[in-house]
Structure 1
Amino acid sequence: MAVEYDGTHYCGWQRLKQAPSVQETLETALGRVAAAPVQVHCSGRTDSGVHATRQIVHFDAPAPRSTKAWVYGANANLPRDIAVRWVAPVAADFHARFLALARRYRYVILNQPSRPVLERANATWCREPLNAGRMHEAAQALVGEHDFSSFRAAGCQSKSATRHVHFIEVKRYGTLVVIDIQANAFLHHMIRNIAGALVAVGRGEEGIGYLAHLLTLRDRAQGNVTAPGCGLHFVDSIYDERFELPREPLGPSMLGFLGEWSGERGLPDSPMVRYRRGLPGARHPASIDATSS
């Protein structure tokens, strides 16, 4: 199942006792369709206020329903800020979290002197001019497998800070500056901390080598501010082709003019990708924490 949501009014994806979550809201809606409890597993947890256009989840259906019934039934029971995009049957060994080969996010910054109105909930506003070219050049230091301790939240529970960034691009489209990043997985607040550091470079407050320097420090206390959650969009989860998941245009809709579709870019030949594809002789890489997302 692919789920789209506006995370403004939620504490994030994961169910919590003290605050509303996307997971709880979705499970409640699916439970009404099935007339039985439903538990869903997601491809990657999102923070409070973060949005998603292609959050992949899986669940074991407790009752037989057609794909049409799941989509229309769930959407009839969901609030207007969450929607199911499609539902498809998968093999019994599919797992949305543990078989994801990559996750991709886009961080959207509205770079203009006046505060936004229509985009205020799905883009971060920066009034000072940003040099997207400098930001892109600085960001290339993050590509590859690194220890991202300088970019993880203080409360991050992942056992390992090592992640493999497949690519990161920073481009300007009119008043929009977009940070597009894909990796095998991300640490808590990792992208928002990267975005905060890149904005400092874009403003001219820090030099091109700033992010490379932060990487070597491996100390979050030396980093820049955490960028707001409203600009972050979870846009893709990539799986092996054997699962035949539907492809669709990448979001958010304000970037639809770019015309890119899910899974369109290739993946690096890394140990984690080979392992999760189930290739012969592939071993689980010790540097990858399978419990984090």
Structure 2
Amino acid sequence: MKGNEQKRRIRMILEYMGTRYAGWQWQDNAVTIQQVVEEALGKITSLKSRITASGRTDAGVHALNQPAHADVETRMSDEEIMKAMNAVLPDDISVKEIKTVPEDWSARFSAKEKTYRYTILNRVRPSVFEHGRVWHIKKTLEIDAMRKAASLLVGEHDFTSFRSSGCAAKNPVRRLTTLDIDRDDDTIRLTFTANGFLKQMVRNIVGTLVEAGRGKIAPDDVSTILGKRDRTEAGPCAPPYGLCLVDVVYDNN
């Protein structure tokens, strides 16, 4: 160990626009959030581990608050690390906070609850400024039908019908505590809170609720879809760019 450098685990809260990236996880032939953040941290500290996030967001998905942890060796303070990282990170990735945490704290395994928000722009005309951040749907959606369908998904269920074929989770049961749908003029926001999410679960649910809003399925059909435990019974997967990781809760949040 050089000088006064100390090895420690840090927690960072990241904010990013996922538009230009192939998701969170490192890939050989594409640029990812994890790669860019690790390269930035490696420039200013002696990085002793891969950065681990609370969850691996897909390509095009954004994050308002993405917790992550890493083991570093440095004499810099938490504040100094944050400022130095933001000085070298691109404009679409920002470190909002860095804090030293116990060595056994995990951004992934210590998480108790996550909140995602999906945004739909529901009008004929697209928005230049919201491009890449919303799903633009021209035909007016029936919000009451979407809300009724959504209410049937709240609670603890086997969400096999709403997970992608590539989902590796051994247990498909999740507890969805909140699924709120709010409309503000032309903008529809769907907010999901659960003890965890399966791969593409939120986007598959959104795609199914939009089918209810379009009148293609009855709201009550969602219960049948849930019970079938078959991905082909549910609606299409909504585009990634309307999805944002909003918050992650820990025991001592």
TM norm structure 1: 0.80
1:219 aligns with 2:196: no
Q: Residue 101 of structure 1 aligns to a residue in which SS?
A: strand
Post-superposition offset of 1:58: 1.1
Which amino acid in structure 2 is aligned with residue 81 of structure 1? D
Q: Residue 36 of structure 2 aligns to a residue in which SS?
A: helix
1:126 aligns with 2:137: yes
Q: How many residues align?
A: 242
Structure 2 counterpart of 1:104, from 115, 134, 145: 115
1:142-291 correspondence to structure 2 within 5 Å? 142-241=153-252, 245=253
Hey, what's the Cα distance between the residues in 1 that align with 2:104 and 2:230? 38
Residue of structure 1 in register with 2:83 after alignment:
72
> How big is each residue's C-alpha offset from its partner over 1:154-174, in whole Å with a ceiling of 9 and x where there is no partner?
111111211111111111011
> How big is each residue's C-alpha offset from its partner over 1:21-42, in whole Å with a ceiling of 9 and x where there is no partner?
1011101000111044552111
* 8 Å CA contact retained: 1:147, 1:161: yes
Q: Residue 172 of structure 1 aligns to a residue in which SS?
A: strand
Hey, what's the Cα distance between the residues in 1 that align with 2:185 and 2:75? 48
Residue of structure 2 in register with 1:285 after alignment:
none
Structure 1 counterpart of 2:98, from 87, 98, 101: 87
Hey, what's the Cα distance between the residues in 2 that align with 1:7 and 1:238? 21
Hey, what's the Cα distance between the residues in 2 that align with 1:19 and 1:210? 39
Hey, what's the Cα distance between the residues in 2 that align with 1:122 and 1:231? 5
Hey, what's the Cα distance between the residues in 2 that align with 1:168 and 1:156? 22
Q: RMSD over aligned Cα, in angstroms?
A: 1.2
Hey, what's the Cα distance between the residues in 2 that align with 1:98 and 1:64? 27
Hey, what's the Cα distance between the residues in 2 that align with 1:37 and 1:80? 25
Hey, what's the Cα distance between the residues in 2 that align with 1:40 and 1:64? 19
Residue of structure 1 in register with 2:8 after alignment:
none
Runs of 4+ in 1 over 6 A off after TM superposition: none
Hey, what's the Cα distance between the residues in 1 that align with 2:128 and 2:157? 38
* 8 Å CA contact retained: 2:53, 2:107: yes
- By percentage of residues, which structure has more strand? 2
* 8 Å CA contact retained: 2:48, 2:70: no
Cα distance 1:146–1:36, how it changes in 2: closer, same or farther (>3 A)? closer
Residue of structure 1 in register with 2:58 after alignment:
47
Which amino acid in structure 2 is aligned with residue 48 of structure 1? A
**Structure 1 unaligned residues grouped into runs of 5+:** 246-293
Cα distance 1:57–1:36, how it changes in 2: closer, same or farther (>3 A)? closer
Higher relative contact order (CA 8 A, sep 6+): 2
Residue of structure 2 in register with 1:262 after alignment:
none
**Structure 2 unaligned residues grouped into runs of 5+:** 1-11
Post-superposition offset of 1:93: 2.5
